[in-house]
Amino acid sequence: MMMYVLMSIFMFVSGVIVFSSKRKHLLVTLLSLEFIVLSLFFIMFMYLNFYDYETYFSMMFLVFSVCEGALGLAILVSMIRTHGNDFFQSFSILQC
């Protein structure tokens, strides 16, 4: 059990490090956010199984994380259609 906790904490910390250091492309930030959500799901699932709670909340968490991923992909597609790439430096936020 302790190995799973350490692995999930390592997954979360590595996802946060990638999210904070690789901010050049939108796709990389979205992938690191999904990795953080996956590690949080793993932590929550292990916690609920350890204390013999009902795992219905984990299903709700997965639904909200899928909605977050779909919203991020929609933003990525609209950004690529309007600007041609997913670089943050290639467009100005002030222009509409």
CATH number of the domain that residue 16 is part of: 1.10.287.3510
* 41 within some domain: yes
- Residue 30 belongs to a domain: yes
* DSSP code, position 55: T
pLDDT at 92: 64
The answer to whether position 77 is within a domain reads: yes
User: Is residue 91 in some structural domain?
Assistant: no
DSSP 8-class letter at 51? T
Give a yes or no: residue 96 inside a domain: no
| pLDDT in the model for residue 10 | 95
| Inside any domain, residue 93 | no
Q: What is the pTM of this model?
A: 0.84
Radius of gyration of the chain (CA): 17
- Positive or negative: CA dihedral 70, 72, 74, 80: negative
**Strand residues in the chain grouped as ranges (E):** none
Q: Could you read off the pLDDT of 15-36 as tens digits, one per residue?
A: 999 999 978 888 899 999 999 9
pLDDT digits (tens, 9 = 90+) for 42-67: 999 988 888 888 878 888 999 999 99
In whole angstroms, give the CA distance from residue 75 to residue 70. 9
Domain hosting residue 28, numbered range: 2-83
Copy the structure tokens of residue 32: 């690191």
